[in-house]
Amino acid sequence: MDVAGKLQELGITLAPAQAPVASYAPVVVSGNLAFVSGQIARKGDRVLYKGSLVGGPVSADQGAQIARECTISAFAVLQAAGLLDRVVRVVKVTGYVASTPTFLDQANVVNGASDLLMQVFGDAGRHARTSVGVPVLPLGAPVEIDFIFEIA
């Protein structure tokens, strides 16, 4: 699968992978699975929409765009580890959405990640998924997503 070519076709350029902000590995491979640690949307050192809740200052549509950026960050992590072109399918996505207590659309926010995965990987991008609303996320991010990929 030519993942880099598909990303280029979609107009996506991968920035260098962000360094971990705590004591963890960005990706761990076990057998034929690559577990990508939770990704937040950052431009350089700046967290996008830092301290804002989805359903408050951040709309569901903006949240979906942030989820898409989290997925692009995961691609950068895989590329840095030499795994991006070894992905054969997306297995599982878990999305955490820092949201107001009355916001009930976390699933549509995480669709920003799921839709991009299916654009890039086609049927192999269809995955199991969990979407969770939480009160706060690391670094004040409004969305964090972790991923499990099957690799060749």
Task: Determine, yes or no, domain membership for 16.
Answer: no
Task: Determine, yes or no, domain membership for 110.
Answer: yes
Task: Determine, yes or no, domain membership for 25.
Answer: no
3-class secondary structure, 134: strand
Q: Which CATH number does the domain housing residue 104 bear?
A: 3.30.1330.40
Judged by phi (left if over 0) then psi (alpha if -120 to 50, else beta), residue 4 lies in alpha
Task: Determine, yes or no, domain membership for 15.
Answer: no
pLDDT tens-digit map of 75-104: 999 999 999 999 999 999 999 999 999 999
Band (60; pLDDT cuts 50, 70, 90): very high
Containing domain of residue 102, as a range?
36-151
Task: Determine, yes or no, domain membership for 10.
Answer: no
Tokens 């705590």 appear where?
22
DSSP 60-93: HHHHHHHHHHHHHHHHHHHHHTT-GGGEEEEEEE
Q: How many domains does the chain have?
A: 1
User: What is the value of pTM for the model shown?
Assistant: 0.96
Query: Mean pLDDT in the chain?
Result: 96
Task: Determine, yes or no, domain membership for 137.
Answer: yes
CA distance 88 to 151: 5
**Is-contact 6 108, C-beta < 8 A?**
no
Q: How far is CA 94 from the centre of its chain?
A: 9
The mean per-residue pLDDT over the stretch 2-19 comes to 91
Report the pLDDT value the prediction gives residue 72, as an integer from 0 to 100.
97
Report the pLDDT value the prediction gives residue 89, as an integer from 0 to 100.
98
